[in-house]
A and B are shown apart, each in its own frame.
Chain A
Amino acid sequence: MAAVAVATRGTAPPSLSRRLHEWGLALAVVGAAIGFFVGYALGSLAIGDGDNSLGSNAGILLGYSLSAVGFLAGMGFFNYPIARLLGRPVPTADDEAYLHGEGGGLARYFRLTTDHKVIGMQYVVAILAFLFVGGLGAMFIRTELLTPTPTTATAESYLTLVGLHSTLMIFMASAAIIGPFGNYFVPIMIGARNMAFPRLEALTFWLLPPAGLILLSTVFLGGFTTGWTGYAPLADQNVLGMDSYLIAFSLIGLSIMLSGLNMIVTVITLRAPGMRFTRLPIFVWGVFLTSFLGLLAAPALLGAIAMETFDRTYLATLFVPAGGGSPYLWENLFWFFGHPEVYIFILPAFGLIMEMLPVFTRRPLWGYRVAIGGLVGVTVLSFMVWQHHLFVSGLAPALRPFYMFSTEAISVPTGLIYLVALGSLWRARTRFSTPMLFIGAFLFNFLIGGFTGVFLSDVPSDFTLHGGYFVQAHFHYTIMGAEVFALMAGLVYYLPKMTGRTMDTRLTRFQFWAVFLSFNGTFLSLLSVGILGMPRRVISYAQYLQPLNVSATVFAYLLGGSMLLFLGILIWNVVIRPVPAKENPWESLGVEWHLPTPTPVYNFDTVPTKWSLPYEYDTGRVAADVGHPAPALGGATP
């Protein structure tokens, strides 16, 4: 019966809409180009003469907006809504299966598909692209900072590098864990056959390529000088390059918001029978709570960006004091988004780390409910701390003690997550596998990130440390040292499942020590530079800071090299010379490891109904009975 179905599908000529769908990426490029020129022409028409006066950015703004729309149209995102509007027949199960990538082979990774596993893999590629392009920017920045005065860059190109590095890395970090692993594994872990809104999920991914390219195109428009924080009125002053930042960041904000919405609905409505909230794997909890942050915080950013474009195009002076506006408005809106944003980075990483810990300690996660409490506490408190970014901005001093207290209070739920990690590790006979190394490094690096945060939350010490390299090193410890280490841990851990291939153990272990030591060398140097009085984002600095800057740069080169080594191992072992992985190489009890590899297109033939937490290593019970014979646990494999 199945063979007959495949045969008929093979012989029937593909319809026009499927032809167009197969050429989606090419059409998207054409659509983006058309969109840009149409938008640019419309904007220029509206402005009239193309002089340098106010509003002359209307062409660029409309061009970028319509190019994003054209890109999505080419990918095929509007076919479904337009067909519904026109009253065309709803897609058949066969159409849906085609869109899902059934039988699509490798080509489905380059199209709009609604399979969350394909989207997870697409995210892996996009995240690594953002990470390495952004990292290249860091290398240029460190090269320039070898000397106290400008040598390799001009003031303009240096600030553009700073802006590109920071903004690209923020884009990367917003989705580094939730994109690849959240999309791939959350539906499987809750026993769903797909996400709640599969087309929306595809949209959240396909917003990234236009966002990245639009941001990079700023170099043709003169760059922007505001860094990733986009402070007004400096942003009002900037040339057209600023519009790249605004449009790109709003596409990312949209992606964060929609992805949050999708995850929330998926986790609430699509859990398998028997999958109660108290049986959700802790990684799903991390993603679930992060999704609330994304859904609630990103609108503040989108609003602020809309206001900024009004400022720049219509002279709305919302952020310009001379016109009755206030720079504090941008600062508050931006950080109201910006501080939850950093927990959007780290909460899924916490979840992922706690998900992996029991696999290597071979014991149940110690204090599962405590972990949920910690995640919930961080989620709630993260909306109450944003003004600690503004301690020296001149806000009413009466507010300072509150934000100092709420910021310090957030260390209590964060401490709970550490309690769970330490309780799980305590006296465990830990398997010293490669992901476990990265987990240990994650805990160490985030610990430094957290403890340096205490110095910044305390107002008297923040007076000096604010806006300097101490802050810079602090958040690199949390984002690079913790989140990117969690990304590497997750890739080493999950690639055998996602690709059926594995990274070379010895090389990856060597890479681990290289990246761990060079990372700490770089950012311990920069912490010291910050205490000694170096402000952020400067191209020139005081002579006496040079030795530490040289040390940071040398370590940064090693760090860049070891990150490239990771990418090299990954590409070599997964793409060029595939090393086949064992099924369930880490002997996990998680349900995702007990499905066949590659995971079937709709995950489960029959959705399991008996679920337990995937950490019952004392009894060896698999999280759900999926009927797939898995390797026995407890030393059966060499």
Chain B
Amino acid sequence: MTERRRRYIRMYALVWFVLAVAGDIGLALGPTPPFQASDLASSQSTVIKILAVIAWPVFSAVVATIAFTLFGNRVAPHEGDIDPGKLRGDSRPQIAWISASIVIVLSLAVYGTVALASDQPGAGISTTSASLRQPASPSDPLEVQVIAQQWWFTYRYPTYGGVETPQLVIPVGQKIQFHVTSLDVVHSFWFYALGVKADAVPLNDNVFTVTPTQTGTYRVQCSELCGLWHGNMNADDAMVVSSSDFAAWIQQQQAMDAPILKYLPAYSHTYEPNPPAYGT
């Protein structure tokens, strides 16, 4: 190993190390993605941050190599006297690279699976029959049906006699179970602040469980192209409120809906309006 080569490698290692450490410190201390209004959202934004911290050193190593080659060692086009350098690939860096990438991939997959399992036990269980149950105890999650159609969302609270509202209001600190479905085409229910995204597919019940941790007024929107007014299928009035405020609000809704609700069973676990006649 010549002195020149050793110097080159030392310089490269130094540049990479500074880049990697500075970048990682910046990523770790810098802003977290601003959706943290639920247990799930906090964990997702942490996952994004951790992935960025893992990815950055690898990213900067590759960029440093490209930059070093292009700017550090270049010759003018057509300059003669080519130093062939090291000509044939030797197997050590290949084995090291392959093992390192396999280790990174395996750990990412394990980390992702663990994060998934702890966030969403049984998330997204899809059944064509409704899976809503009568709540057995107060600690059971509050079920909210999200009914998507072109081009708005309706929310139905089956535990409160099937009250339907155009506005989503949920209590803070309580486990919420969204049951997302659609009446016409495929939509996607996106509650950005809570980290909730679930496709709404007709005759399908897409379940997503989340516990809001911060009160506030948030935006919900459709994130799957669903036709002409997809861009306007959003609302800025979704609210996470205290349990007492929620109790008051839901009582008010029940009172408003009472003339209809008295014809419905006390607890209804299905929602089957007539599907719109096809082709008319």
Question: Does any Cβ of A come within 8 Å of B80's Cβ?
Answer: yes
Segment from B112-120, B135-143, B242-250, B261-269 that makes contact with A: B112-120
B interface footprint on A610-623 (CB within 8 Å = 1, 0 otherwise): 00000001100000
Among residues of A, the one whose C-beta sits closest to the C-beta of B109 is: A405
**Is there contact, CB below 8 Å, between B190 and A364?**
no
Are B195 and A463 closer than 8 Å at their CB atoms? Answer: yes
Q: Which residues of chain B (21-54) have a CB below 8 Å from chain A?
A: 33-35, 40-41, 43-45, 47-48, 51-52
List chain B residues, Cβ under 8 A from A362: 82, 84
CA distance A555 to B3 in the complex (A): 45
Q: How far is B74's CA from A411's CA once the two chains are assembled, in angstroms?
A: 29
A458-B51, A463-B196, A535-B223 are known contacts. Are A431 and B201 too (CB-CB below 8 A)?
no
A451 in the interface, Cβ–Cβ < 8 Å? yes
Q: Are A225 and B225 in contact (CB under 8 A)?
A: yes
**B231 adjacent to A539 (CB under 8 Å):** yes
- Is B94 touching A419 in the complex (CB atoms < 8 A)? yes
Does B62 lie within 8 Å of A447, measured CB to CB? yes
Top 4 A-B pairs, shortest CB-CB distance: A635-B80, A394-B206, A539-B231, A538-B231
A425-B35 CB under 8 A given contacts A234-B226, A237-B185, A322-B202: no
Which of B73, B83, B190, B225 sits near A227, CB closer than 8 Å?
B225
Q: What residues on A are CB-neighbors of B190 within 8 Å?
A: 467, 533, 535
Contact between chains at B197 and A463 (CB < 8 Å): yes
Interface segment among B96-104, B153-161, B166-174, B251-259: the answer is B96-104
Residue of A nearest to B88 (CB): A364
Name B's A-contacting residues (CB within 8 A).
5, 8, 33-35, 40-41, 43-45, 47-48, 51-52, 55, 58-59, 62-63, 65-66, 69-70, 73-89, 93-94, 97-98, 101-102, 105, 108-109, 111-113, 115-116, 119-120, 122-126, 180, 184-186, 188, 190, 192, 195-199, 201-206, 219, 221-232, 234, 236, 275-276, 278-279
Q: List residues of chain B with CB within 8 A of the CB of A627.
A: none
Which single member of B45, B201, B223, B279 contacts A315 (CB below 8 Å)?
B279
Whole-angstrom distance between the Cβ of A606 and the nearest chain B Cβ = 31
Where the two chains meet, the residues of A that have a C-beta atom closer than 8 Å to any C-beta of B are 53-54, 150, 155-156, 158-159, 225-227, 229, 231, 233-234, 236-237, 315, 317, 320-323, 327-328, 331, 361-364, 366-368, 370, 390, 392-397, 400-401, 404-405, 408-409, 411-412, 415-416, 418-419, 422-423, 425-433, 436-437, 440, 443-444, 447, 451, 454-455, 457-461, 463-468, 531-533, 535-542, 587, 617-618, 634-635, 637-638
In the complex, the chain B residue whose C-beta lies closest to that of A635 is B80
What would be 27 A-B contacts, judged by CB atoms less than 8 Å apart? Answer: A225-B225, A234-B225, A237-B185, A323-B278, A401-B109, A405-B109, A408-B112, A409-B105, A412-B102, A422-B65, A425-B69, A426-B65, A428-B85, A430-B70, A431-B75, A431-B79, A443-B66, A444-B66, A454-B51, A458-B47, A460-B116, A464-B35, A468-B223, A533-B190, A536-B225, A541-B231, A635-B79
- Nearest neighbor of B89 in chain A, beta-carbon distance: A367
Residues of A contacting B45 in the complex (Cβ-Cβ under 8 angstroms): 464
Q: Is the CB of A428 within 8 A of B203?
A: no
Given contacts A394-B201, A429-B82, A535-B190, contact A458 B8 (CB under 8 A): no
A-B pair number, CB within 8 angstroms: 285
> Are B201 and A321 in contact, CB atoms less than 8 angstroms apart?
yes
Q: Which of B59, B87, B279 has the most CB of A within 10 A?
A: B279
Cβ A321 vs Cβ B73 within 8 A:
no
Chain A residues with CB under 8 Å of B222's CB are 535
B78–A431 CB distance below 8 A: yes
User: Nearest residue in B to A532 (C-beta to C-beta)?
Assistant: B34
Which residues of A sit under 8 angstroms from B204, Cβ to Cβ? 321, 394
Residues of B with C-beta under 8 A to A392: 124, 188, 197-199
- Do residues B231 and A537 form an inter-chain contact, with CB atoms below 8 A? yes
Residue from the set A229, A395, A426 with the largest chain B CB neighbour count within 10 Å = A426
- B225 near A231 (CB under 8 angstroms)? yes
Q: Specify the chain B residue showing the minimal Cβ separation from A533.
A: B192
A454 near B108: Cβ-Cβ < 8 Å = yes
Distance of A459 Cα from B8 Cα, bound (Å): 40
- Residues of A near B236 (CB, < 8 A) are 542
- Count chain A CB atoms within 10 A of each CB in B70, B73, B120 and give the residue with the most: B70
Q: Is A404 within 8 A of B113, CB to CB?
A: yes
- Majority SS of interface residues in chain B? mixed
How far does the alpha carbon of A155 sit from the alpha carbon of B196 in the complex, in Å?
A: 26
Are the CB atoms of B122 and A397 closer together than 8 Å? yes
Q: Which of B5, B126, B203 contacts A321 (CB 8 A)?
A: B203
Q: Is the CB of B78 within 8 A of A587?
A: yes
Known: A394-B199, A440-B66. A234 touches B185 (CB 8 A): yes
Q: A426-B86, A460-B112 are in contact. List 5 more A-B contacts (CB 8 A).
A: A155-B232, A409-B109, A419-B93, A454-B108, A535-B221
The answer to whether A233 and B116 touch across the interface, beta carbons within 8 angstroms, is no
* Minimal beta-carbon separation of A637 from chain B (angstroms): 6
Q: Name the distance in Å between A400's Cβ and chain B's nearest Cβ.
A: 6
Is there an interface contact between B223 and A460, defined as CB atoms closer than 8 Å?
no
List B contacts of A464 (CB < 8 A). Answer: 33, 35, 41, 44-45, 48, 192, 195, 197
Do A233 and B44 form a contact, CB below 8 Å, given A317-B278, A363-B84?
no
**Which of B8, B119, B125 lies in contact with A427, CB distance below 8 A?**
B8
Residue of B nearest to A528 (CB): B33
Across-interface contacts of A541 in B (CB, < 8 A): 231
Judge whether B108 and A458 touch: CB under 8 Å.
yes
Please give, as numbers and ranges, the residues of chain A lying within 8 Å of B116 by CB-CB distance.
397, 400-401, 404, 459-460
Given A370-B94, A419-B94, verify A458-B112 contact (CB < 8 Å): yes
Supposing A416-B98, A429-B75 touch, asked if A466 and B44 sit within 8 A by C-beta, the answer is no
Q: Which of B52, B82, B219, B276 has the most chain A CB atoms inside 10 A of its CB?
A: B82
User: Smallest distance from the beta carbon of B227 to chain A beta carbons, Å?
Assistant: 5
A619 to chain B, nearest CB (A): 10
Which partner residue on chain A sits nearest B190 by CB separation? A535
Q: Which residues of B contact A540 (CB under 8 A)?
A: 231-232, 234
Q: Is the CB of B81 within 8 A of A423?
A: no
> Bound complex: CA of A538 vs CA of B224, how far in Å?
10
B101 touches A412 (CB 8 A): yes
Name the distance in Å between B105's Cβ and chain A's nearest Cβ: 5
**Are B73 and A427 in contact, CB atoms less than 8 angstroms apart?**
yes
Contact A454 B188 (CB under 8 A): no
Q: For A440, what are the chain B residues with a Cβ–Cβ distance below 8 Å?
A: 66, 70
A residues near B119, Cβ cutoff 8 Å: 460
Most buried by A among B62, B63, B111: B62
